[in-house]
Amino acid sequence: MIRRALILLLGLSLLSLSSPVAQAAPPGQRDVIVQLFEWNWRSVGQECGQVLGPKGYGAVQVSPPQEHVVLPGSGYPWWQDYQPVSYKLDNTRRGTRSEFIAMVNSCHAAGVKVYVDAVINHMTGGSSGGVGSAGSPYTHYDYPGTYQNQDFHHCGRNGNDDIVNYGDRYEVQNCELVDLADLATESDYVRGRIAAYLNDLLAIGVDGFRLDASKHMPAADIAAIKARLSRPAYLYQEVIHGAGEPITPEEYVGNGDVLEFRYGKDLAKIFNTERLAYLRTFASPLPSNRAVVFTDNHDTQRGSGVLTFRDHGRYALANAFMLAWTYGTPKVMSSYEYSSNDQGPPSTSSGQTVDTTCFSNRWRCEHAWRVIANMVGFHNAVRGTAVTRWWDNGNDAIAFGRGDQGYLVLNDESSALTGRSFHTDLPPGVYCDVFHGDYTPGHCTGPTYTVDPSGWFRADVPPRDGLALHTNAKLS
């Protein structure tokens, strides 16, 4: 929603124009999404070739690419990008249209799909107006050549048209979210303009969309826009569950997948205040094949109740579990350090996002931490298998297999887990522990474990640590 220097090898010791339909569940064997939050286009393209493709990520979610407001008086906050001025792709804080196209091509060459964070519920906030990042003039309800006053909702409530009561469906979907000019998505004209924007991106080669603020648009409106897409695209919608609220995530699954916000909070609760043993039946209310799950994202990490990069080793353990478990399509967060919730990414004095150099200049690059990056390979190896051989100590140490393709041990206890042998369905052989080492054919930079012909191996696991073995990292 709107406002709302680690080392690279972070170890846990440190801790077609056919009938357009949205595809549910990303196609292909690699489905892990990484959100490179606020990265510029040049850096995303490079990362696809250097890290994302080689490590097995299936797709990258990029920040909104359309022309946006520019707010130097507020220090160029990150959320200015979520206030569209036009649907031009020129001269945003992340680069030009040609650079965006080059990024898409680079990612595709690396086998990585590109999903765009699409802001289609609203335009800008405030009444003064100004000039957008590509030079387009605007006021709150006037965007020359795109929208005018009649293209917006004017709900006539609360004195300022803002949403106050989230228990009122009409208000949530017809009033303004924090003063942002709310598009009349029931309008045929508005639907056409939005579809034209999305089709421009599809023509470039974009593979799908995260639909921002979907809860504030009726599911039928999204369906009508989807029906105008020029070719199939993967859609996942931002619909935040609220206890007792009339608008629920479940009503949007007919359009595509849905971001499951309950997942990250529930996972953090177990890691922080409960027992890892409770993870044996871990899931959320949405059907697994419709849920996009995440430990945190750019909004939730600025709130409370979730694990973030500041939780170091425990955050890595939680992401390892998410990538090893059977529920949902995983989305990994990659963020930057911030001293205030509004602070934008590392930028020039004019607000242009600088090139990303991981683990310096505030870039945290969680997606490249060894544990998280290597567990993407684990996820790909075990995809489609069932959980087997569950073991726990009744508290904060757990282990489980994924069929005969992988095995994970997590120890969130304050003491080492020693004197144990673990029973797996893995074929016998020597395996690289991808928690602590990188695998290349025939070689592992970290410890290895030997699984005997009966499926057993012995391991001692330090506190707040773990290990992971899978068949795509087998030495012999």
**Architecture category of domain 387-473 in CATH:** Sandwich (2.60)
Confidence of residue 99 (pLDDT cuts 50, 70, 90): very high
Percent of the chain with pLDDT over 70: 94
Q: Interior CA angle at 302 toward 298 and 306, to 5°? A: 90
Query: CA quadruple 172, 177, 178, 183: dihedral positive or negative?
Result: negative
Range(s) of the chain covered by CATH 2.60.40.1180: 387-473
Identify the pLDDT of residue 26: 60
Lowest-confidence region among 4-8, 109-113, 156-160: 4-8
476/473 Cα distance (integer angstroms): 9
Confidence of residue 28 (pLDDT cuts 50, 70, 90): low
Single pTM value for the model: 0.94
Distance set, CA 217 to CA 130, 162, 191, 226, 390 (Å): 26, 15, 12, 13, 42
pLDDT averaged over the chain?
94
Confidence of residue 19 (pLDDT cuts 50, 70, 90): very low
Range(s) of the chain covered by CATH 3.20.20.80: 33-382
What tens digit of pLDDT does each residue of 213-253 get? 999 999 999 999 999 999 999 999 999 999 999 999 999 99
Percent of the chain with pLDDT over 90: 93
Instruction: Indicate the SS3 state at residue 84.
Output: strand
**pLDDT at residue 275 above 50?**
yes
Quote the DSSP letter at residue 50: I
Confidence of residue 2 (pLDDT cuts 50, 70, 90): very low
Structure tokens at 167: 């228990």
Identify the pLDDT of residue 14: 34
| Residues paired with residue 325 on neighbouring β-strands, in sequence order | none
**pLDDT at residue 9 above 50?**
no
56/383 Cα distance (integer angstroms): 12
85/132 Cα distance (integer angstroms): 6
Average pLDDT over residues 28-47: 95
Identify the pLDDT of residue 5: 34
Identify the pLDDT of residue 3: 38
Residue corresponding to tokens 């041990």 = 409
Confidence of residue 423 (pLDDT cuts 50, 70, 90): very high
Q: Are strands 329-334 and 33-36 parallel, antiparallel or unpaired?
A: parallel
Average pLDDT over residues 185-206: 98
Average pLDDT over residues 40-63: 98
Identify the pLDDT of residue 380: 97
CATH superfamily of 33-382: Glycosidases (3.20.20.80)
**pLDDT at residue 11 above 60?**
no
Query: Nearest to residue 472, comparing CAs of 40, 68, 30, 126?
Result: 30
Average pLDDT over residues 80-95: 97
Active site residues: 212, 238
